[in-house]
A = this chain, B = another copy of it.
Amino acid sequence: MASGRKAVVLLSGGLDSATVLAIAIHEGYQAHALSFRYGQRHVVELAAARRVAEKLGATGHQVVDIDLRAFGGSALTDDAIAVPHGALGADPGIPVTYVPARNTIFLSFALAWAEVLGASDVFLGVSAVDYSGYPDCRPEYIAAYETMANLATKAAVEGRQRLTIHTPLIRLSKAQTIARGLELGVDYGLTHSCYEPDGTRPCGTCDSCLLRARGFAELGLTDPAAV
């Protein structure tokens, strides 16, 4: 522990990324949290990101503005596409809440910040278990990103930094993620996951709310953010 190496941690303000931030800090990294105002419906998650970064002890926190509404194409960034409610996994394909190339864009900014900070480690809270519909949450995607990143930067090419993308949740179910976070003292009451909240109050019926509720239920617990 406490090696003091710097890492960039992608932090949405949701359950998964809060857990990953706790893991990175527990592993001894100086965690630099990175969030995005990207035109998401649920921009209240950024207030959650600020609370979580402060409470868990992130070394720094940046919020970068990028307007993905300019492109649209997702229920999360395009008002013409409705967020589904009440039927987890009813849509057989990749959900309409998929945002085109979102993780690729987020990781690219993390790569830039890591290079400037002199960090060799990036943490990302993707899971291929509970929500395997998103292509950019799969291990083969992450591996290909890492290969590309190590050809992309001055730091990598000069041999100073070989980037590693850490995805500690990739093989965990939602319940396993929650159990790990609780061990590390994460206060899930500070987090926000809902895709279409009423103000700051989660709807309770979108896929993200249903997945959270199921995770807590499997542990015999109630989601503190849903109370």
The residues of A with any CB-CB pair to B shorter than 8 Å are: 62, 64-68, 70-73, 93-94, 98-105, 107-109, 111-113, 115-116, 135-136, 138, 140-141, 144-145, 147-149, 151-158
Contacts and interface: CB of A to CB of B under 8 A. Distances in A.
Contact of A66 (B64, B72, B93): B64
B116 A149 contact: no
Contacts of A156: 135
B116 A72 contact: yes
What's the number of copies of this chain in the assembled complex?
2
A140 B100 CA distance: 25
Contact of A101 (B70, B73, B152): B152
Nearest to A133: B154
A15 B103 CA distance: 31
B147 A94 contact: no
